[in-house]
Amino acid sequence: MDTGQTKSFSIHLVAERRKVLGSISEHYDELELEMLENFFQAVRERQHCKWLHWNMRDANFGFEALENRIQALGGRATVSVPEERRLDLSRILIAIYGVGYTSHPRIENLMEQNSITAKDFLTGKQEADAFEAKQFLKLHQSTLRKVDIFANFAERAHAGRLQSYSSWWEMNGRSIKAIGEWIREHWLIGSVITAIGVVGAAVRAWPSISLLF
């Protein structure tokens, strides 16, 4: 995030290195296996890093899916991304701004709200179509664009500049409620508030009490 540098893993890059760009389909499995081996080697070298992702939470679309795929191709994932270092940006944004911060599809609509260009960006349906059409360069470019977009979201949210549909209360109400709960639970502050309440009640009652003397 600090340097803005991107390391990419794609079928297209592996095919380019092996000089088989014109026959990717014929070598697809071996190209994919090499790509995944390169990826997991990078994971091994970056065990100290935090991994920001978007909804990569299960075996259908997630880190487990990558591990399962390399095994299906005859390889082996010798290392995993530690779960405690996986940060789901989609959930983080909901935690900050509330579930209504943008409408579905969230990525595309949040891009529009923040005037982020969609150049090279493909939706899930468009990526599936590109895969069927063997347009691997387009898939590679779309992946790079999405990495840049997610970094953009994270940087703007961190700086407090991400435009959303959330109201002030949606963004701050939970924090205010949490402070109230903490005050009620903290014995010293609770005692002080109780004492203030007793003193206040005594002050209000003093005119009536003084009439008795």
In tens, the pLDDT along 121-145 reads 999 999 999 999 999 999 999 999 9
The one-character DSSP state at 41 is H
From the list 136, 138, 133, 106, the residue with the least C-alpha distance to 120 is 138
Q: Are 181 and 159 found together in one domain?
A: no
17 and 113 assigned to the same domain: yes
State which residues form the domain around 189.
169-210
pLDDT band at 1 (very low <50, low <70, confident <90, very high): confident
Does 202 fall in a domain? yes
Q: Please state, in angstroms and rounded to a whole number, the distance separating the CA atoms of residues 54 and 56.
A: 6
Distance of alpha carbon 192 from alpha carbon 183, whole angstroms: 10
Note the pLDDT of residue 200.
Answer: 58
Whether the pLDDT of residue 203 is over 60: the answer is no
179 and 91: one domain? Answer: no
Q: What angle do CA 114, 118, 119 make, to 5 degrees?
A: 135
Any domain includes 3: no
Specify whether 156 is located in the same domain as 196: no
Same domain, 143 and 42: yes
Are residues 195 and 182 both part of a single domain?
yes
Candidate from 3-17, 137-151, 193-207 with smallest mean pLDDT:
193-207
pLDDT at residue 208 above 70? no
Tell how far CA 162 is from the center of its chain: 14
Tell me: do 148 and 60 sit in the same domain: yes
71 membership: H or E segment, kind and range: helix 63-72
Reported residue count of the chain is: 213
How far, CA to CA in Å, does 29 sit from each of 7, 13, 35, 36, 141? 21, 14, 10, 11, 21
192 and 121 in a single domain? The answer is no
Domain for residue 143, yes or no? yes
For all residues of the chain together, what is the average pLDDT? 88
Asked if residue 113 has pLDDT above 60, the reply is yes
**Domain co-membership, 68 together with 159:** yes
Q: Do 100 and 128 fall within a single domain?
A: yes
> Do residues 118 and 166 lie in contact, with contact meaning Cβ atoms separated by under 8 Å?
no
Residues 104 and 197 both lie in one domain: no
**Per-residue confidence at 34, pLDDT binned at 50, 70, 90?**
very high
Mean of pLDDT values over 66-75: 97
Tally of helices (H runs) and strands (E runs) in the chain = 9, 2
- Verify that 135 and 194 share a domain, yes or no: no
Based on the structure, what is the number of domains in the chain?
2
Of residues 35 and 180, more confidently modeled = 35
149-173 pLDDT per residue, tens:
999 999 999 999 999 999 888 777 7
> How many C-beta neighbours within 10 Å does residue 128 have?
12
